[in-house]
């Protein structure tokens, strides 16, 4: 299976007590599908996977699969800094009916490139489900180097990478060295257009929580050959891309969703609600885009 187009890195909405808001989550997924999104990614960075219990993590995946109802692929975040835990979560996602999994690089313990390779090799061999590697060194403390990713692309079940290193030279090396059946997905909204130009086939987007139609249109326009339209949408959304990362994700996107009246709630500690200045900037940008009055 390949994952092309736009997939939304879903927020995990919480209620006033800080518990998982299942009804709100289902509402958000319906809105995403109605907005033309190509897939959903629950329990990733934006979904605050690091502060969910195992039971909550599994519940969110179950609800996502049920709410998607086969209309769009579900690629569940199942990465961990422990290979054993990643195996457990990945097995569960496969059993729950997810179409694929997103595996963030092991964080905190800073494995070597050999360690990273062996980690992903173990997962690929143990669980028969399409696996997308997630490279985001700003959060994990370790970059998965292009040479390692190219080697990993040769493994059965490893189907792509969500690239959020911010290094376009690395993206070029991966595109040149991996096969045509290895999907390169942008993991940074501001770099989606450049990554598409280097051979990327889609994006895992934070901004599409807010504007699914716009992000879908950007990606599909480029893939269909209308580069000018894709570029116009990119320039239109640049202020939003910037505003959504004034503070640590998912603080700003949750604030923006709350402003729009969508289920979101506050982030879980140690993350905190976006500052008032950030909320004001978001309102200004959202007003300019016609999302609010």
Give one DSSP letter per residue of 132-155, joined into a string: EEEE-HHHHS----HHHHHHHTTS
Judged against a pLDDT cut of 80, whether residue 45 lies above it is answered with: yes
Q: Read off the pLDDT of each residue in 215-220 and give the average, rounded to a whole number.
A: 98
Show the domains of the chain with their CATH numbers: 5-226 (3.20.20.70)
Judged against a pLDDT cut of 90, whether residue 90 lies above it is answered with: yes
- For residue 177, what are the contacts with CB-CB under 8 A and spacing of at least 6? 146, 147, 150, 153
Inter-residue contact 166 to 138 (CB < 8 Å) = yes
Beta pairing partners, 154: none
Phi, psi of 68 (to 5 degrees): -70, -35
At 23 the pLDDT is 98
pLDDT per position as a tens digit, 221-264: 999 999 999 999 999 999 999 999 999 999 999 999 999 999 99
Q: Read off the pLDDT of each residue in 21-39 and give the average, rounded to a whole number.
A: 98
Q: Please give the full DSSP string across 182-204, using - where no structure is assigned.
A: SEEEES-GGGHHHHHHTT--EEE
For residue 266, indicate whether it is catalytic: no
Helix, strand or coil for residue 127?
coil
At 138 the pLDDT is 95
Q: Read off the pLDDT of each residue in 5-19 and give the average, rounded to a whole number.
A: 98
Q: Tokens for 225?
A: 């050959």
**Annotated binding residue at 204?**
yes
Q: Read off the pLDDT of each residue in 41-67 and give the average, rounded to a whole number.
A: 97
Sheet holding 39-41, edge to edge: 39-41, 5-9, 202-205, 183-186, 158-163, 131-135, 100-104, 75-77
Judged against a pLDDT cut of 90, whether residue 34 lies above it is answered with: yes
- For residue 227, what are the contacts with CB-CB under 8 A and spacing of at least 6? 221
Judged against a pLDDT cut of 90, whether residue 282 lies above it is answered with: yes
For residue 54, indicate whether it is catalytic: no
Q: Read off the pLDDT of each residue in 37-65 and give the average, rounded to a whole number.
A: 97
Residue at token pair 């993206």 = 171
At 293 the pLDDT is 84
Judged against a pLDDT cut of 80, whether residue 1 lies above it is answered with: no
pLDDT per position as a tens digit, 165-182: 999 999 999 999 998 899
CA pair distance 292, 275, nearest whole angstrom: 19
From residue 155, alpha-carbon distances to 42, 57, 276 in Å are: 24, 27, 47
Average pLDDT score, the chain: 97
> Catalytic pick from 120, 151, 162, 279?
162
At 180 the pLDDT is 86
> Catalytic pick from 92, 134, 214, 281?
134
**Annotated binding residue at 272?**
no
240 DSSP assignment: H
Judged against a pLDDT cut of 80, whether residue 112 lies above it is answered with: yes
């Amino acid at each position: 299976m390949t994952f092309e187009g736009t997939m939304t890195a879903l927020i995990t909405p919480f209620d006033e007590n800080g518990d998982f808001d299942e009804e709100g989550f289902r509402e958000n997924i319906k809105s995403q599908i109605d907005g033309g999104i190509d897939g959903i990614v629950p329990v990733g960075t934006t979904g605050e996977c690091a502060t969910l219990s195992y039971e909550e993590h599994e519940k969110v995946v179950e609800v996502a699969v049920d709410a998607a109802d086969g209309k769009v692929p579900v690629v569940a975040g199942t990465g961990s800094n422990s290979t054993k835990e990643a195996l457990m979560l990945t097995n569960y996602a496969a059993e729950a009916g997810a179409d694929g999994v997103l595996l963030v690089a092991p964080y905190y313990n800073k494995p070597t490139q050999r360690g990273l390779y062996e980690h992903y090799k173990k997962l690929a061999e143990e669980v028969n489900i399409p696996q997308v590697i997630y490279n985001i060194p700003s959060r994990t403390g370790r970059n998965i180097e292009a040479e390692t990713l190219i080697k990993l692309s040769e493994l059965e079940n490893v189907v792509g990478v969500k690239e959020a290193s911010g290094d376009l030279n690395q993206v070029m090396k991966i595109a040149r060295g991996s096969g045509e059946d290895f999907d390169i997905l942008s993991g940074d909204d501001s770099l989606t257009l450049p990554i598409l130009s280097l051979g990327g086939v889609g994006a895992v987007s934070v901004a599409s929580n807010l504007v699914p139609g716009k992000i879908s249109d950007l990606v599909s326009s480029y893939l269909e050959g209308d580069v000018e339209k894709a570029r116009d949408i990119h320039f239109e959304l640049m202020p939003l891309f910037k505003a959504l990362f004034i503070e640590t994700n998912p603080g700003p996107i949750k604030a923006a969703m709350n402003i729009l009246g969508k289920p979101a709630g506050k982030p879980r500690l140690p993350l905190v609600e976006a500052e008032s200045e950030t909320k004001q900037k978001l309102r200004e940008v959202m007003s300019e885009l016609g999302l609010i009055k």
